[in-house]
């Protein structure tokens, strides 16, 4: 290393100063000129002179004012003035070449000092950066276009770093979630979304991208808004991977699917509920009963069991015959309301159709508790039902109940429901307001 330095020093010392200056100024790739305080050109290299289709010697003594147009002077004069005041100045501007083409240059102005230490003028060097400038401008325009798309998108857009820290979020993300990249810069999105089952899938999905197990995924998550309402979102997530296969960035595009979820829930509710009374329908009741049977703990028969009560109204046909089906529908809604006040928490009440209702009781109630519950059901019909818009007309109804329980019957929903139905008809034959058990009464 020392030998190289010694050789370089010896080479510099051996070169005449003019020759060394020529090497430096000709082979730097920059246009160079030196002016005094009056902007008279003291030196110009060949690259600088070529811009004016002249030789360097032809420019000596001329002023910058004479070489440039007034428009050009308006651009560079403030920078020249700063340099003459002793400041180093760097700026970029377009310069029109001899072919009429505008070319971008990076221009550096360095004040030079005379022997008294005063500013004697300026060294002007300009390096063509046209391709870089054009590329940079194209990139800036592309980024601006992308930013505009992000801001105008109906989706919220969130960019995360390799630690899931917030890098950028669109204004829609700010509107929906209250996040802002200025105030939440670098904060983990896991902290921002919070804990709980609503976001568990999102946390797992982002973890899959970080680990490299997936390159992209989509997950559904929901958030509680400040007003207490729930917002459902679909997150479309993609990972940016470097050459080493590491995730360095994650882009999340988030769609608000609250209305879609609400519509699906409405459809599900309609599919599972009786449109007249709002109670569960036959299909939903059977599903609930199957779930109850499937969850039975066979090892503890003393506490696990299910009971199905099948109810049919007594005297309801007379309501339809006397007052019409519209009033009959009203009475069915009133019956549903009274039954709903009787059933216990955890019981399932449903309307199977017509004037038939069922109740699913979980657990294995004692004979005494079951008897008290049935008595409360009967008592719900003790008060006549007032018919609206009929000048005080009231109708009295009763109910016949069939009971099927596991144990002792098999833990099969179809079997229990059928036996309860048959037991209800046996109760009908025994007289209005009767109860019949599918097995001998435990009472």
Q: Taking the CB of residue 414, how many other CB atoms lie within 10 A of it?
A: 11
- Higher pLDDT pick, 29 / 269: 269
Predicted local confidence at residue 129, as pLDDT:
79
- Rank 17-21, 71-75, 332-336 by mean pLDDT and report only the highest: 332-336
Q: 273-437 is classed in which CATH architecture?
A: 2-Layer Sandwich (3.30)
- Top-level CATH class of 153-261? alpha beta
Whether 318 shows a pLDDT value over 70: the answer reads yes
Reported as a single tens digit per residue, the pLDDT across 270-301 is 999 999 999 999 999 999 999 999 888 654 55
Q: Do domains 153-261 and 273-437 have the same CATH topology?
A: no
Whether 351 shows a pLDDT value over 90: the answer reads yes
Whether 95 shows a pLDDT value over 90: the answer reads no
Whether 442 shows a pLDDT value over 60: the answer reads no
Calpha distance 150→217 (Å, rounded): 20
- Higher pLDDT pick, 93 / 235: 235
Average pLDDT over residues 155-161: 93
Q: Which CATH superfamily is domain 2-131 in?
A: PAS domain (3.30.450.20)
The 8-class DSSP code of residue 116 comes to: T
User: Where does the pLDDT of residue 194 fall: very low under 50, low under 70, confident under 90, or very high at 90 and above?
Assistant: confident
Q: Read off the tokens for 80.
A: 């020249």
User: Where does the pLDDT of residue 89 fall: very low under 50, low under 70, confident under 90, or very high at 90 and above?
Assistant: very high
Strand partners for 253? 157, 236
b/e burial code for range 3-34 (CB count within 10 A of at least 16 → b): eeeeeeeeeeeeeeeeeeeeeebeeeebbbbb
Q: Read off the tokens for 370.
A: 């079951």
Q: Where are the domains of the chain?
A: 2-131, 153-261, 273-437
Predicted local confidence at residue 404, as pLDDT:
95
Q: Residue 59: CB partners within 8 Å, gap ≥ 6?
A: 33, 41, 44, 48, 49, 52, 67
User: Where does the pLDDT of residue 23 fall: very low under 50, low under 70, confident under 90, or very high at 90 and above?
Assistant: low
214 Rama class: left (phi>0) / alpha (psi -120 to 50) / beta: beta
Reported as a single tens digit per residue, the pLDDT across 32-63 is 999 999 999 999 998 888 888 899 999 999 99
Average pLDDT over residues 349-368: 93
Calpha distance 141→148 (Å, rounded): 10
Q: Taking the CB of residue 439, how many other CB atoms lie within 10 A of it?
A: 13
Cis ω on the peptide bond leading into residue 408 (within 30° of 0)? yes
Mean per-residue pLDDT of the chain: 87
Collapsing DSSP to helix, strand or coil, 37 comes out as coil
Calpha distance 306→401 (Å, rounded): 16
Q: Computed from CA positions of residues 285, 286, 289, 294, in that sequence, does the dihedral angle turn out positive or negative?
A: negative
Percent of the chain with pLDDT over 90: 57
Average pLDDT over residues 119-136: 83
b/e burial code for range 301-322 (CB count within 10 A of at least 16 → b): eeebbbbbbbbbbbbbeebeee
Reported as a single tens digit per residue, the pLDDT across 210-239 is 999 999 999 999 888 778 888 999 999 999
Predicted local confidence at residue 11, as pLDDT:
40
């Amino acid at each position: 290393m020392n030998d190289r330095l010694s050789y370089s020093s010896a080479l510099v010392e051996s070169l005449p100063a003019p020759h060394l200056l020529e090497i430096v100024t000709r082979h730097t790739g920059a246009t160079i000129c030196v002016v005094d305080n009056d902007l008279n050109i003291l030196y110009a290299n060949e690259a600088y002179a070529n811009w004016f289709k002249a030789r360097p010697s032809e420019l000596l003594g001329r002023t910058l004012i004479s070489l440039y147009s007034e428009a050009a002077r308006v651009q560079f004069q403030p920078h020249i003035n700063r340099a003459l005041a002793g400041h180093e100045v760097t700026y970029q501007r377009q310069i029109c070449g001899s072919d009429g083409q505008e070319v971008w240059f990076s221009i550096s102005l360095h004040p030079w000092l005379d022997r008294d230490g005063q500013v004697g003028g300026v060294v002007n060097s300009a390096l063509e950066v046209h391709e870089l400038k054009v590329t940079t401008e194209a990139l800036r325009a592309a980024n601006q276009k992308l930013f505009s798309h992000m801001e105008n998108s109906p989706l919220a857009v969130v960019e995360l770093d390799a630690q899931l820290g917030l890098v950028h979020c669109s204004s829609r993300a700010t509107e929906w979630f209250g996040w802002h990249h200025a105030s939440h810069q670098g904060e983990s999105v896991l902290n921002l979304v919070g804990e709980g089952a609503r976001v568990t899938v999102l946390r797992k999905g982002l973890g899959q991208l970080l680990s490299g197990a997936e390159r992209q995924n989509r997950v559904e998550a929901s958030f509680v808004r400040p007003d207490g309402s729930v917002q459902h979102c679909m997150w479309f997530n993609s990972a940016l991977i470097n050459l080493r296969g590491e995730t360095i960035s994650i882009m999340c595009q988030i769609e608000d699917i609250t209305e879609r979820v609400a519509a699906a829930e409405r459809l599900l509710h309609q599919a599972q509920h009786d449109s007249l009374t709002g109670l569960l329908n036959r299909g939903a009741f059977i599903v609930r009963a199957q779930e109850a049977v499937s969850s039975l703990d066979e090892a503890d028969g003393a506490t696990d069991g299910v009971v199905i009560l099948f109810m049919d109204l007594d005297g309801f046909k007379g309501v339809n015959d006397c007052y019409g089906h519209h009033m009959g529908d009203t009475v069915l809604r009133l019956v549903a309301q009274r039954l709903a006040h009787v059933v216990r928490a955890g019981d399932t009440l449903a309307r199977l159709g017509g004037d038939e209702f069922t109740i699913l009781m979980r657990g294995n109630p004692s004979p005494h508790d079951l008897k008290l519950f049935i008595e409360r059901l009967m008592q719900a019909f003790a008060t006549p039902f007032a018919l609206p818009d009929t000048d005080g007309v009231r109708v009295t109804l009763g109910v016949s109940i069939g009971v099927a329980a596991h144990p002792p019957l098999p833990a099969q929903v179809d079997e229990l429901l059928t036996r309860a139905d048959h037991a209800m008809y046996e109760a009908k034959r025994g007289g209005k307001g009767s109860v019949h058990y599918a097995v001998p009464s435990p009472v």
